[in-house]
Structure 1
Amino acid sequence: MAANDYYNTAHGQQHGTTSQFGKSDSPPSPLPSNQTPYSSAPSPFDDNRYYNTPNSSGALGGYPSHSNTSYQGAQQDPFTDHNAIPLHSKPKMDGHGHKHDDDSSPIRYQVDEEGGVRRRKSKKKKGWFQGRVTWVVYILTTVQVGVFVGELIKNGMLTGTPIQTKPNFNIMIGPSPYVLVNMGARFTPCMHNINSTISNKVQSWPCPNTTSLDPKSISCSLSEFCGMGGVPDQSDVKSFNDRSHEPNQWWRFIVPIFLHAGIIHIAFNMLLQLTLGRDMEKEIGPLRFTLVYFSAGIFGFILGGNYAAEGLSSVGASGSLFGILALVLLDLLYTWSTRRSPVKDLLFLLLDIAIAFVLGLLPGLDNFSHIGGFLMGIVLGVCLLHSPQALRERIGNDEPPYATVDTQPLAPTGNAATQKLSMFAKAPVGFFKGRKPLWWAWWLVRAGGLVCVFIAFILLLRNFYEWRNTCSWCKHLTCLPIETGGVKWCDMGGLNLSRTDPSPRNPAMFLL
């Protein structure tokens, strides 16, 4: 129909008749003096003529005017349907005069050999570095892999092999636990006084180069075993409350995040970190991601330091990654109504979390880090992420839209955050005007969560260094009531090593 209208219109212009719509088709106004005469009936398929058709919804609507041979504003695109609904918005112009499609990729024009104009679209950046670059994840991964290589090198220098083969084979395919303790694993005797040391039940410790269960190989002092600058000599300390020679390597709550027990251990952690970790950093930004990552990891090690056996050592970024898993769970719950299959996503996520917690009950894994990291991730997620979509609809859109992973950022950009801070600084009272009671209740919950996190950190640290309150049943959170080879899993990690009566089966269980 559009083509027929065109030819009828052209014919009417030549003969001065009236179109089928009842409107007079008067001849066009005279051409400006600086333009070339324009043919009254050009072919719509002429490749050498392009029209400036801002109202066009067809293919020709996106082309620019071509030199001075086009008559701008005199005639519309013959294929334009003014009653049609546009399929998409018109391309945008940038500061350099280039048009952009909806994906914001610049469109450039080239003139071919025959004088025609071709549209060339620049390639969109795809691949591993697509979108926002997740520098925090890349830096953490690089450091952790580098530290693991250093573990293998040090184990090879001390024991003769990069991985532990004597006295037992490390099923994680990694260094000896004694080497890991010497490099900064969380190990309670290196951090504060313990009853076994003060009462002289443990007088000698394994050396970092230990490869045998022979009691003669257990001949190092606690300072030599701990390394990292050593700890004070406690041979003359008789009272548990005497803090004059107390070890205080507090950094063992932080350093273990960068240590791993073996190739299998670091491979699983880095796989999760480079997938879910990258996606979450893209959505919430590097600052929030870093805060949750380290807070979850440190809180997990503090929880284990309070309630795990004194002879157990712990390494790995599992606590930090469980905090990220908690954020993914919150993201799912916050956007439940917009998901295609939320029940399916929830079941898969809960299954992954359950499997990880069950594996944490096996010897060699620290489930306290998993539990502590997950709890910290949940609390910080509620405090730091945007409000759930359903809640925002009830209290008003006072925040940027919450988006699921792989869509829009959950955190405002730098410019948006700066504008919000400047507006709040200029009118702090206006920020709270007109807020609904539900808004106040939700922000009270978020503020209460931050207070609870702060109090939990303080209480656990005070208990670790001063009160020393223990929990008799808490050990079952990280072990199963199973006995193998005459040793109960929940009794592993007890320090019963001495010069006079060393136990060949359990000299000191330094599990990871």
Structure 2
Amino acid sequence: MATNDYYNDAGNRSDRFSAHTLFPSSTINHTFGAQDHSSELDSSYHTSTPPKPPKKDQVYSDSTPVKPYPKIRTNMQGSPHPHIRDTPSPEEHMNSDFSWRRRKHKGFFSGCIPWFVYGISIIQIAVFIAEIIKNSILTGSPIMIHPQFNPMIGPSTYVQINMGARFVPCMRTDPEIQGAQPPISWPCPNTTTSDATAASNHCDLSALCGFGGLNDDKPNQWFRFIVPMFLHAGLIHIGFNMLLQLTMGRDMEQTIGTIRFALVYISSGIFGFVLGGNFAAKAIASTGASGSLFGVLALTLLDLIYHWQSRKHPIRDLMWILADVIISFVLGLLPGLDNFSHIGGFLMGLAAGVCILHSPAILRQRIGDKLLSYRHVESDIDLGTAKPSSPISPKRAQDVTKFTKFTKEPVGFFKGRKPLWWAWWLMRAGALIGVLVGFVLLLNNFYTYRNTCSWSYELYNEWDEYKWEQ
């Protein structure tokens, strides 16, 4: 997929060994003591036996970049140990971290396994299979072919509603529905005809909504802001989403970590359905993880902007992202999808990305901070319980020391910060407060004022709106 190329371009690195490259640090046993300054590197240099290349199945720590050593200084004047390698400069360490962050992922299970992406993908595929089975049981066909064909090649709209699609009449009371006289007749989940006189088109709202029915005819199925993330309208819908999720989503989770990724994914999906519930047509049934994936698209766009100067082909990467957005919006015109959910997911992804992603590279350089790689929270090493022989990198030891210092003296963390640092953190706080306030206002509007946009119907095909018979 286009978005997968976005990550693969920047991480290409030659695996060949040249005359100026040696082994990764994890293959060399440095044992420097107070009196003994020799090492396997020195002994192999003086012997006639050439050093052995690293094994193919050698596993390296994710926290340390797998990068060849720099050149060996063999003409160090005045040095008692002429063959010990140079210590990497801060600039080299920064570039090493960034190259690790952008390393090429080879295969679906290379590097850190994106458990969240794989887990939620399995759940979504299993739920879609359940949709097909239920549609086959209720209507006699695995996909909707009567009274009209589902262009997404999937179950009936009414089966989706019965299984948890975002459907406003099932989520809140509406005077136009609950107070209608005579009472409105709703299609049953097993309907296959548009004949208004058919018995399958004369069910009450409780039968259509399912999940044990409604409480005294007062709809309040709030969970329909969450459940639709696991439902899909058809094969085309879930196929496109899985393609994005297992490429772009996988790479993003491997880059920023499972916890950060899960927060953005879930919050974007929920916020998208809340926004769609406020402004989309009432009779629209919305499903899919597209809102969540638009949040991931927003993360990808932010990451591109943050590291624009370090990208090989930033314009091309931007074009691929825009192509994904356009395709998703076109699919959003089909039944069962909601472009307002896409917009909401994208907005939440932008706000969450500003909060959880590292600062832009150019900003970190101007304020003097290192361009650090992302580190998974669950992969930290506890220095208090680690064995003396545990291979703890200096960077990790420094990170843990900084965290311990912050817990003991949190005020010191803010001393000496430059104005740009404060400005960026104020922007982060503003983004967080903005989305929280927006979320509360949208929920209040949904349940209290029930305002909708009349022009929103232009985003949908007329044939997707069911003309309810009274």
TM range (shorter): 0.7 to 0.9
Distance 1:494 1:205 in 2: 10
User: Which structure's relative contact order is higher, taking Cα pairs within 8 Å and 6+ residues apart?
Assistant: 2
State the structure with more CA Rg.
1
1:425 aligns with 2:400: no
1:254–1:52 CA distance, 2 compared to 1 (3 A): closer
1:401 aligns with 2:371: yes
Q: 2:235 aligns with which of 256, 263, 274?
A: 263
Distance 2:41 2:287 in 1: 67
How far did residue 61 of structure 1 move? 5.9
1:414 aligns with: 380
1:224–1:420 CA distance, 2 compared to 1 (3 A): farther
Q: 1:130 aligns with which of 107, 110, 114?
A: 110
One-letter amino acid of the structure 1 residue matched with residue 125 of structure 2: V
How far did residue 198 of structure 1 move? 2.4
Distance 2:46 2:307 in 1: 35
How far did residue 82 of structure 1 move? 3.4
2:185 aligns with: 204
Q: 2:214 aligns with which of 231, 234, 240?
A: 231
TM-score in terms of structure 2 length: 0.73
Distance 1:144 1:83 in 2: 62
2:419 aligns with: 437
Distance 2:145 2:47 in 1: 72
C-alpha contact 2:258 2:376 (8 A) present in aligned 1: no
1:446 aligns with: 428
How far did residue 62 of structure 1 move? 3.2
How far did residue 218 of structure 1 move? 1.0
2:130 aligns with: 150
The root-mean-square deviation of aligned C-alpha atoms, in Å, is 2.9
SS of the aligned residue for 2:454 comes to coil
* Aligned pairs for 1:365-404 within 5 A: 365-397=337-369, 401-402=371-372
2:282 aligns with: 310
How far did residue 127 of structure 1 move? 3.4
C-alpha contact 1:53 1:61 (8 A) present in aligned 2: no
1:276–1:150 CA distance, 2 compared to 1 (3 A): same
One-letter amino acid of the structure 2 residue matched with residue 169 of structure 1: F
1:162 aligns with 2:142: yes
Distance 1:395 1:490 in 2: 54
1:320 aligns with 2:292: yes
Deviation track 1:105-126 (CA, whole Å, cap 9, x = no partner) reads xxxxxxxxxxxxxxxxxxxx96
C-alpha contact 1:196 1:495 (8 A) present in aligned 2: no
Deviation track 1:86-138 (CA, whole Å, cap 9, x = no partner) reads 99969xxxxxxxxxxx9xxxxxxxxxxxxxxxxxxxxxx96321100111011
Distance 2:46 2:178 in 1: 85
1:31 aligns with: none
How far did residue 497 of structure 1 move? 2.3
> Going by fraction, where is strand more abundant, 1 or 2?
1
C-alpha contact 2:44 2:51 (8 A) present in aligned 1: no
Distance 2:42 2:235 in 1: 63
Distance 1:308 1:81 in 2: 67
2:265 aligns with: 293
One-letter amino acid of the structure 2 residue matched with residue 178 of structure 1: Y
Deviation track 1:352-378 (CA, whole Å, cap 9, x = no partner) reads 213322442345531011111111101
1:16 aligns with: none
2:91 aligns with: none
1:190 aligns with 2:170: yes
SS of the aligned residue for 1:62 comes to coil
C-alpha contact 1:56 1:81 (8 A) present in aligned 2: no
How far did residue 342 of structure 1 move? 1.1
Identical positions, percent: 55
1:181 aligns with 2:161: yes
Distance 2:310 2:332 in 1: 33
Distance 2:330 2:272 in 1: 17
TM-score in terms of structure 1 length: 0.67
> Going by fraction, where is helix more abundant, 1 or 2?
2
SS of the aligned residue for 1:83 comes to coil
How far did residue 247 of structure 1 move? 0.9
* Aligned pairs for 1:415-494 within 5 A: 415=381, 420-476=402-458, 478-479=459-460, 489=461, 493=465
How far did residue 174 of structure 1 move? 1.2
The runs of 5 or more residues in structure 1 that have no matched partner are 1-50, 64-79, 91-101, 103-124, 235-245, 403-407, 480-488, 499-512
Deviation track 1:185-216 (CA, whole Å, cap 9, x = no partner) reads 00001000123312316521111110111222
C-alpha contact 1:232 1:247 (8 A) present in aligned 2: yes
How far did residue 56 of structure 1 move? 2.7
How far did residue 471 of structure 1 move? 2.5
Distance 1:53 1:294 in 2: 53
One-letter amino acid of the structure 2 residue matched with residue 161 of structure 1: S
1:178–1:57 CA distance, 2 compared to 1 (3 A): farther
C-alpha contact 1:55 1:82 (8 A) present in aligned 2: no
2:68 aligns with: none
Distance 2:117 2:49 in 1: 46
The runs of 5 or more residues in structure 2 that have no matched partner are 1-39, 53-71, 87-95, 97-104, 382-395
How far did residue 340 of structure 1 move? 1.1
How far did residue 83 of structure 1 move? 3.4
